[in-house]
Amino acid sequence: MKQFLAFVLKECKHIARDRWTLLILLGIPIAQILLFGFAITTEVRSTPVAVYASSGQTAREIIAQLDASPYFVVTHEVGSPSEVDSLFRCGAIRLAIAFSPEFDSDLHQTGEAKIQLIADGSDPNQARTIIGYATAVLSSYQERLLKEHRAPVLIQAETRMLYNPQAKSAYHFVPGVMGIILTLICAMMTAIAIVREREMGTMEVLLASPIRPLYIILAKAVPYFALSLVDLISILLLSAFVLDVPIEGSLFLLFGVSMLYILLALSLGLMISTLVESQVAAMLSSGMALMAPTMIFSGLMFPIESMPVVLQWVSTLMPARWYIAAMRKIMIQGASLVHVETEILALTLMTSVLILVSLYKFKTRLE
């Protein structure tokens, strides 16, 4: 028994000396429960809203009640329907509220008035939730008017799913799946392929050849770049002819943004390969560092607007967030280059940083 306790004490001392083991055993569970508790939520909060033709007093009261709700933030007041469409394509709003021209007069004279709720149907589940929240606010306002005037008041809300009138879930998931697949193939497979050469001892042989190290690295990346393009074409064909997901925007723009994202993912794989020494480590680090954050912070599963501000800032560092947003705009909304400038700029900046870091690390490690 004393020998057993001595071995237990020895193992405890080893763990206490190993700070990384303590961090994994104690820090990661705490970080995960906090991250999942705050980030994973199906509620939609702080939804940006645009209003149209809201000059009447009653309309202003409804907008004020919406703005006071934790679920909405009135960010734009527009003067034409074309402005509403432009704001949707830029991703500046998720809901638009249009009042009829005689909204106030109709409500006071006949007790009935019409209002239109327009939601971004590229994410149908979120759009239904947003419309449900807005309808609840309108119902609350009707009850208040009924108590004040003691007369029946009816606000008829007409709902419209923009870009996805049938509310098909494939419209939302296809662009997200594209981002995840390209991340897996490019980043994980590139990191493993390069680490495999180092682990097997053949990287030194390649470096001893007349070919420059940069060309060796690029030669490793080119096949995965080509495979990613094949996967991209396959996904687009299946989504168009099997899932009936339209491609409303420019194919040239779609492929341009996708190739930029593939280059980014390849650079990320190169950087991972400089930090690990084995294929297992490359696989685990790629999976832990890419998969979970991509699922949580890309906006594919959970609305980013509902997360705490700190986590919203963290999500800006996720390449998949910008790529998925760009694909939704191009494929579903038919957005042009002007509407995806922010996403392209973010992806370009990340790609440049990753390429510089990856090449720098490879020079110092391989020479």
Parse the chain into domains and list their residue ranges.
Answer: 47-162, 170-366
In this structure, how many other beta carbons lie within 10 angstroms of the beta carbon of residue 275?
A: 14
User: What is the Cβ-side half-sphere exposure of residue 185, based on CA atoms within 13 angstroms?
Assistant: 20
Smallest CA-to-CA distance from 122 within 164, 173, 175, 92 is with 164
Q: What is the pTM of this model?
A: 0.80
- DSSP tag of 247: -
Measured distance CA(246)–CA(228) in Å, rounded: 21
Q: What is the mean pLDDT of residues 269-292?
A: 72
In this predicted structure, what is the pLDDT of residue 366?
Answer: 45
**pLDDT at position 365 over 50:** no
Q: Is residue 260 very low, low, confident or very high in pLDDT (cuts 50, 70, 90)?
A: very high
208 vs 268, more confident = 268
Question: Which alpha helices (H) appear in the chain, and where do they start and end?
Answer: 2-17, 19-22, 28-39, 57-68, 81-90, 103-109, 124-149, 170-183, 189-200, 203-208, 213-241, 251-275, 279-286, 292-297, 309-315, 319-331, 341-366
The DSSP bridge partners found for residue 52 are 78, 98
Pick the CATH number of 47-162 from 3.30.420.300, 3.40.1710.10, 3.90.180.10, 3.40.50.300: 3.40.1710.10
DSSP per residue, 88-156? HHHTS-SEEEEE-TTHHHHHHHTSEEEEEEEEETTSHHHHHHHHHHHHHHHHHHHHHHHHHH-S--EEE
